[in-house]
Amino acid sequence: MRVGLGFDAHRLVEGRPLILGGVEIPYHMGLLGHSDADVLTHAIGDALLGAVGAGDLGSLFPDTDPAYENISSLILLEKIMEMVRLRGFQPVNLDAVVVAQAPRLAPHIPRMMDRLAPILNLPLGAMNLKATTTEHLGFAGRGEGIGAYAVVLVDNV
């Protein structure tokens, strides 16, 4: 068994949709990035890459490559899962936390789980998604951006 850790953060700006865990969340701002800037999916992808020793998302899908402009991060996660399988691994469980002062994310977590579970080939009981504020501390607390942390355990298939 092997474990991987992922972290990501993106800036919140006007005029972009807010996509987290592959789900569009109603809000007056969205995350800025070359792809859809889905920080949660990016953190999960980096955790998977870390677990199987395959580098990191930023090097695999560079923001200089027009192929990844505004791409759904779920597609990037599917590509990462192909790499995980090629190396002979399968996720065992996922734990992740989104750090955002606003909007309130708890009502959207079941939909995020439904989106991510089939891509990760995980039963819902092996996935745990959480959201927290930072009590107005730091960049997330000031509403300047959103961060996400993920830990994934993988096992040899």
Q: How far is the CB of 39 from Mg ion (least distance, A)?
A: 6
Question: Which stretches of the chain bind Mg ion, using CB under 5 A?
Answer: 8, 42
Minimum CB separation from Mg ion for residue 125, in Å? 28
In this complex, which beta carbon is closest to Mg ion, that of residue 73 or of residue 101?
Answer: 73
Q: To the nearest whole angstrom, how small is the minimum distance from the Cβ of residue 33 to Mg ion?
A: 6
In the complex, residue closest to Mg ion by CB: 42
Asked if residue 39 lies in contact with residue 45, where contact means CB atoms within 8 angstroms, the answer is no
Taking the least distance from each CB to Mg ion, the nearer of 42 and 108 is 42
Decide whether 21 or 90 has the Cβ nearer to Mg ion. Answer: 21
Between 76 and 84, whose beta carbon lies closer to Mg ion?
A: 76
